[in-house]
Amino acid sequence: MSTIIELTNVSLKRNGHWLLKEINWTIHKQENWVLYGLNGAGKTALLSMLCAYYFPTTGSVTVLGKVFGRDYLAEKLRQKIGLVSSNLQQKLYPSDTAYQIVLSGAFASIGLYEEPTDEMRQKAIGLLEELHCLSYADRAYETLSQGERQRVLIARALMADPELLILDEPTTGLDFLAREQLLAALETINKRENAPTFLYVTHHVEEILPIFSHTLLLKKGEVFDSGRTDEMISEEKLSQLFELDVFVNWENGRASLRRKL
C-alpha cells in the first residue's frame, strides 16, 4: 500500500515557540483520516507543514513521495493537494463567478490568468453539476451563501485531480442543512474510482462520516493517540483527551458527544 503522508519525529518551532512536538504519523492510500483536536491543538501548523508552507525544525516529512529538504516542492506539490480552507476563501476575488473560481483550480491560481481549454471548461461544469452548484455558476462568489461557497471550493479543489484533499473545518459557519449537504457531497466524491485521500480537520465529532476510517487526536502540539476512528472517538479516549468525562453515542456510523453531568 503506497504512502500519502509520512511524518517521523517531526517538531516545529516558530517565533521561539514549539508548535508541534515529536509528531509520528503515516497515512496510506485508500485511508481517509480525521485530524481532531480542540482550538490551539496545532492543527493549522500541521496543515501548513503538509502543504509545504512550513518546513520541520526537526524530523522527516514526506508528502506524496516528496521528501522535504531533498526534493523540489512548493507549487508542484501543492498542485497535487486540493485544499479547502477559510484562509483560501479570503484570498479569492469576490467578484469572480463560481464558474471562474472552479476553473482557476486547474491552474492552482487565485484568479484566471491563462486561457482554459475546452476540456477544462467541460470539467468545471461537470464538477459544478456534481456538487449541485450549477444553478449559481454565473453568480459572483461574494453573493453566495457560506454553504454554496464551500461547495464551490471543493469543486475548485477537484479540478486538478488531487491525490490528497484537505478540508480544514469546512462546515464552519454552516447551518445544519448546509452542513449535511456538504458532508453528503464528500460521500459522493469518495465513491469515485479516482477519489483522493481525504484529510478532514475538525473539532466536532458529529461531522465525522463513516468514510473516515482513521483519526489522529492532537493535543497541545503532540499526538495524543491515533488509530481506527471507532477506537479514537470513544468515551474513554475523549474523556482522557478533554480531561473531562463525556458520553459518546454512535448511531448509523456517526457519533455525537455530550458532557457527563
pLDDT band, very low/low/confident/very high, at 107 (cuts 50, 70, 90)? confident
Domain layout of the chain by residue ranges: 90-161
Nearest to 205 by CA among 59, 35, 79, 70: 35
Tell me the mean pLDDT in the region 54-62: 90
Tell me the mean pLDDT in the region 197-214: 95
The per-residue pLDDT for 70 is: 64
Report the Cα–Cα distance between both ends of the chain, in Å, rounded.
Answer: 44
**Residues paired with 17 in a beta bridge:** 14
Positive or negative torsion for Cα 243, 244, 247, 252: negative
Q: Which residue has the higher pLDDT, 219 or 66?
A: 219
Distance (Å, whole) CA 243 – CA 221: 16
Number of Cβ within a 10 Å radius of residue 47: 19
Q: What is the percent of the chain where pLDDT is above 70?
A: 94
Residue 95 and residue 140 in contact, taking contact as beta carbons nearer than 8 Å: yes
The per-residue pLDDT for 54 is: 84
3-state DSSP of 187-247: HHHHCCCCCCEEEEEECCHHHCCCCCCEEEEEECCEEEEEEEHHHHCCHHHHHHHHCCCEE
Rounded to the nearest integer, the mean pLDDT of the chain is: 89
